[in-house]
Chain A
Amino acid sequence: MTESKNLRQLLINLGYDPVDGFNEGRKIGILILLAGLLLLTACIAVVMGAYSITTTDVYRVILVHLTFGDVSTLPRLHNTIVWDIRVPRIILAISVGGALAIAGAVFQGVFRNPLVEPYILGVSSGAAFGAALGIVFPHIFFSIQISAFIFGALAVTLAYMLARVRGETPIVTLILAGVIIGSIFAAFVSLLKYISDDTALREIVFWLMGGFYYATWSDVWLLTPFVIICFIILWGLGWKLNILSMGDEEARTLGVNPERYKFIVVALATAVTAFAVSLVGIIAWVGLMMPHAARMLLGPDNRYVIPAALMMGGTYLIICDTLARTLTTAEIPVGILASILGAPYLCYLLRHKGRVIFG
């Protein structure tokens, strides 16, 4: 009894003070369920793989690591496969899926358009160009990841600067600027593909399709904390994002400085997208679909959509990646699977829930 009272007080302190009709209890319930689903998916995915290890063995490895037990008692092969390959891969999939999904939710809110995705400002084309540079000229651009991140961020910065007129960044100009910058970088990528040799070309194409083949713990340590920080900040700005999605003038009269907050949330969402893309390549659809799915479940309030999108994005990419590495003996790039699985879902949305989602 006291426990539930404490929990209630904690929720009130966090700002969740339920009032009849606002349905907050139900929404929090859904969020908890989604978190459970994410955990469950991860637990199942870790057991699956090309090399079969029994469930008990898999969890013994994880348990030993989590309790800081003696790793040398474990079979070397099991340890490597589970702890060094599968676990970081799953955590990376959660981080990337979550990052793209929250970035998508943020961009859709700020740009007041439910069809926007995180790549709208050209981050994917910029990152692709950076990665291609790294692949074609490995001596000059020593790291594909860093190069991809730099050019991804550069593309968005250029788009933002291009769109800025008289101290304001109107949405239409911003989207157009993103399209322009995106197509310029896409052309550069084509140019690089044209001049590269066969090996490099193959690598570029694979990078563009996205995948978690090379996931390591160091990638996880780089990306995951960053995603968590961005998530917490953006979640905290969820209410302001609701206001921003009503339009600049209304945001102003409601006491939210549109230019300042647009800049903050776009910068954070872009950074997290560029980071994710630079590590695993371009994975489409997640950033477009997951915010929609979250909105279908919870309504458009971004205070709920952002955490829900994070968890659904993570779950979705784990599923895609697990399929990618288990369906066939050779691995299918996860970007392809994400698109194949995603398109029918969007068709369904458009045909059946169009009015609810698109207004």
Chain B
Amino acid sequence: MLDVTNIHFNYDDFPVLSGVSFSVGEGELCGLFGPNGSGKTTLFKCCLRFLQARDGTVRMCGEDTYTRSIEEMARMVAYVPQEHKPPFPYLVREVVLMGRTPHLGGFFGVRRRDKEIAMDALAELGITDLADRPYNQLSGGQRQMVLMARALAQQTPVLFLDEPTSALDFQNQMRIWKIMRDIAEDGKTILACSHDPNHVAWFCDRVVVVGDGKIVADGAPADVISEDILSQIYRDTCCVRSVNGVQMVMPQSVAERCCCTGHLHHGNGHDHPFPPDGMRVEDQS
């Protein structure tokens, strides 16, 4: 469904992506995971053609995106940006209706069907009650839901989400992930950036780990979110435990302090006390 082959990208002379390739199958929820500055967002933008890659191809639905117009792209892929505030108080229903833009024609173009699709998208996410509120006066979590509804209204086979849960509280994070799962069950292909190793491990069908402009690992979350790989990208700050069969990533310091009942899930040979410099818990957000 989505095939990214050998993407190279430079900001001026500074290489950000060097030879990134991965692919996502139809109906898969794929997590794009990696530390700050690893090139995740740049990769996202190259796939969406906000940035022009120096080399490499991106194919969606079997078509090379670099030969497609912006209008055609918008019928293939919807994008949920990180939450933002537009300057004008558009109503939520108007914001969602904007998702219909690539399907509109005519002088004004907005037809009854488009409005109904927009309202259906709101209903699907259970936020019909927000329809008449000004979008820029909502809370961050509500705005994220509205942007999801807009992406649904766009009715594209592929969805890109840029850190959809980064600004949300725990309950809303779980809600968004559940919605993404439901959308993927409906046969849509989703690529979502995330900073939380637990989220991608719990909810994604597949995880692509980016580090330093390259793919570090690519596969099922159980294989990819391992201590080996996490210690590669986060320099020995994490360890992976299993709590009743559910994989948990936690900071090493916490794991040591609490000595969870769980066992070491993927050993990386560190059976001795960790060196002091490994104790640092880096901010992962």
B137 touches A359 (CB 8 A): yes
Chain A residues closer than 8 Å to B280, beta-carbon distance: none
Contact of A17 among B74, B104, B112 (CB under 8 A): B112
B234, CB-defined interface residue at 8 Å: no
Q: Contacts A22-B115, A242-B98; is A300 near B90 (CB within 8 Å)?
A: yes
Other 20 A-B pairs with CB < 8 A, given A15-B109, A252-B70, A255-B71: A19-B116, A21-B93, A22-B115, A109-B88, A243-B98, A243-B101, A245-B88, A246-B98, A249-B79, A252-B49, A253-B73, A253-B74, A253-B79, A254-B102, A254-B154, A255-B75, A257-B70, A299-B90, A359-B85, A359-B134
| Interface residues, chain B, with chain A CB atoms under 8 Å away | 48-50, 69-71, 73-75, 77-79, 81, 84-91, 93-94, 98-99, 101-102, 104, 106-112, 115-116, 119, 131-132, 134, 136-137, 154
B90 touches A301 (CB 8 A): yes
A245 touches B86 (CB 8 A): yes
Chain B residues closer than 8 Å to A243, beta-carbon distance: 98, 101
A14, CB-defined interface residue at 8 Å: yes
Contact of A15 among B87, B98, B108, B137 (CB under 8 A): B108
B88 touches A14 (CB 8 A): no
B48 touches A252 (CB 8 A): yes
B109 touches A239 (CB 8 A): yes
**Closest partner residue, chain A, to B78 (CB atom):** A253
Indicate with 1 or 0, residue by residue over A1-35, a CB within 8 angstroms of chain B CB atoms. Answer: 00000000000101111010110000000000000
**Closest partner residue, chain B, to A255 (CB atom):** B74
**Closest partner residue, chain B, to A16 (CB atom):** B108
Q: Contacts A238-B108, A359-B88; is A19 near B119 (CB within 8 Å)?
A: yes
A303, CB-defined interface residue at 8 Å: yes
- Bound together, the chains give a CA A1 to CA B157 distance in angstroms of 44
Chain B residues closer than 8 Å to A109, beta-carbon distance: 88
Chain B residues closer than 8 Å to A22, beta-carbon distance: 93, 115
| Interface residues, chain A, with chain B CB atoms under 8 Å away | 12, 14-17, 19, 21-22, 109, 112-114, 236, 238-240, 242-243, 245-247, 249-250, 252-257, 295, 299-301, 303, 355-359
A17 touches B111 (CB 8 A): yes
Chain B residues closer than 8 Å to A249, beta-carbon distance: 50, 79, 81
- Bound together, the chains give a CA A252 to CA B134 distance in angstroms of 23
Pick the 4 closest A-B CB pairs, nearest first: A255-B74, A15-B108, A255-B102, A253-B79
**Closest partner residue, chain A, to B128 (CB atom):** A21
Q: List 21 A-B contacts (CB under 8 A).
A: A15-B108, A15-B111, A17-B110, A19-B116, A19-B119, A22-B115, A112-B86, A239-B109, A239-B110, A249-B50, A250-B81, A252-B49, A253-B74, A253-B81, A254-B99, A254-B101, A256-B101, A301-B90, A356-B134, A359-B87, A359-B134
Minimal beta-carbon separation of A242 from chain B (angstroms) = 7
- Bound together, the chains give a CA A252 to CA B77 distance in angstroms of 11
B87 touches A253 (CB 8 A): no
Q: Contacts A239-B108, A255-B102, A359-B136; is A19 near B50 (CB within 8 Å)?
A: no
Contact of A21 among B70, B74, B112, B131 (CB under 8 A): B131
A299 touches B89 (CB 8 A): yes
Q: Contacts A249-B81, A252-B50; is A295 near B111 (CB within 8 Å)?
A: no
**Closest partner residue, chain A, to B69 (CB atom):** A257
Chain A residues closer than 8 Å to B98, beta-carbon distance: 242-243, 246, 254
Chain A residues closer than 8 Å to B69, beta-carbon distance: 257
Minimal beta-carbon separation of A125 from chain B (angstroms) = 25
Minimal beta-carbon separation of B196 from chain A (angstroms) = 24
Chain A residues closer than 8 Å to B99, beta-carbon distance: 254
Contact of B89 among A238, A247, A356 (CB under 8 A): A356
Contact of A255 among B73, B89, B106, B108 (CB under 8 A): B73
Chain A residues closer than 8 Å to B87, beta-carbon distance: 112-114, 245, 358-359
A253 touches B86 (CB 8 A): no
Chain A residues closer than 8 Å to B75, beta-carbon distance: 255
- Bound together, the chains give a CA A243 to CA B104 distance in angstroms of 13
**Closest partner residue, chain B, to A253 (CB atom):** B79
**Closest partner residue, chain B, to A300 (CB atom):** B88
Residue from B73, B87, B94 with most neighbouring chain A CB atoms (10 Å): B87
Chain A residues closer than 8 Å to B111, beta-carbon distance: 15, 17
**Closest partner residue, chain B, to A113 (CB atom):** B87
Q: Contacts A17-B111, A249-B50, A359-B136; is A239 near B88 (CB within 8 Å)?
A: no
